[in-house]
Amino acid sequence: MPALCFLVLVGFAFAVYSLRSRPRLESGIALIGTLAVTAFSFAGSESRVSEVLFYAPLLILAAGIGALVYSKKLDGYAWPIAPLTIAAAAAFMETFPRFAREQVIAAMPFAGLLLIYLIYVTWRLWSSHTSARVQTAVALAVLPFALFLLGLRFFHQTYFRGASTFKSDTELSIDRGRGVYFPAETAREIDDVTRYIQQRVPDGGYVFPQSYAGSSFLFLADRKNPSGAQFWGGVGVSAAERAATLEALEQNDVTMIITSAKDQQAEKYPPMRDYITAHFKQTAQFGDVIILERDVDQTNTESASEIRN
């Protein structure tokens, strides 16, 4: 699909430029091309659209590198291309290793700057050899127009339900969440998890956030984190810090862990995994959020065993 879209765009630009001496036919092709781009951007399947979006920065970077290779033919317009290409490449590399659509979209502003400048240079060079400046501009504007429409589509489907109704229309009822809105089901889940934590853990108590979202729940519930790592499973948590957190769970009498099935499976520190299995059990689940609490029966059994020994 990305290769097909690229060939269609190139063919469209070539047709518009080649038919500059026949304005009516050229205008008709321009209208058809614009309608086709609009239809694909708004009505195309999301998986196909995402494929195109993933490869768009690569196409722009390839164009930037090509412009650097042939910089001597750009009549003095080449000097900004190198820093723009480096900035766009650096922003795009931030998407790895996850390479999610959100990261690709976040890198688009830098790739967009490079694209706009390359279009400007191409327009200046082409328009200096032809009087069809408007037609040349139309041919060059197709790709940024398509990316703009895709941006509108993703923005709308992320934040709106229907034509103009916000998806996030329900305010959190937790004191620390006032003024923050989520979709109704998500808001209810956040409120339920936060209240459960507040009911089961006393003020000033500790809760261990094994899951990525756990730290947010700690803030909303106004409870403490025994770990020095905001995101336990994140990059940069050393073995010493993991060992210190495990020790802190015992020292601070941590009775609750916020986790999820995904985070439990992804636990890479065997001592922590074994400790949780031995001392905690699941007591509640809200959506994907799993609440583990210290197994009192297991603790009492271990204490009795220590007394007998």
Specify whether the CB–CB gap between 93 and 122 falls below 8 A.
no
The terminus-to-terminus CA distance of the chain in angstroms comes to 70
Half-sphere exposure of 101 (CA within 13 A, CB side): 13
Task: Check: CB of residue 118 under 8 Å from CB of residue 81.
Answer: yes
**How many percent of the chain have pLDDT more than 90?**
32
Q: What is the mean pLDDT of residues 148-175?
A: 87
236, 213 Cβ separation under 8 angstroms: no
pLDDT in tens, 9-51: 778 777 777 776 777 777 777 778 778 888 888 888 878 887 7
Chain CA centroid to CA 102, Å: 3
Whether the pLDDT of residue 188 is over 70: the answer is yes
What tens digit of pLDDT does each residue of 197-236 get? 999 999 999 999 998 888 899 999 999 999 877 777 666 6
Place of tokens 């690569």: 58
277: left (phi over 0), alpha (psi -120 to 50) or beta: alpha
- How do beta strands 256-259 and 208-209 pair? parallel
Residue 132: the pLDDT is 61
Confidence (pTM): 0.62
Q: In whole angstroms, what is the distance from residue 4 CA to residue 32 CA?
A: 17
The Cα 299–Cα 275 span in angstroms is 12
For residues 104 and 96, give the distance between their C-alpha atoms in angstroms, rounded to a whole number: 9
pLDDT at 161 over 90: no
Distance of alpha carbon 301 from alpha carbon 103, whole angstroms: 49
φ, ψ of residue 58 to 5 degrees: the values are -65, -40
- pLDDT band at residue 196 using 50, 70 and 90 as cut-offs: very high
How many residues can be counted in the chain? 309
Cβ distance 142 to 12 under 8 Å? yes
Residue 4 gets which letter from DSSP?
H
263-272 confidence digits (pLDDT tens): 899 888 899 9
Q: What is the pLDDT of residues 74-128, one digit of tens each?
A: 878 888 999 999 999 998 887 766 666 777 788 888 988 999 999 888 888 877 6
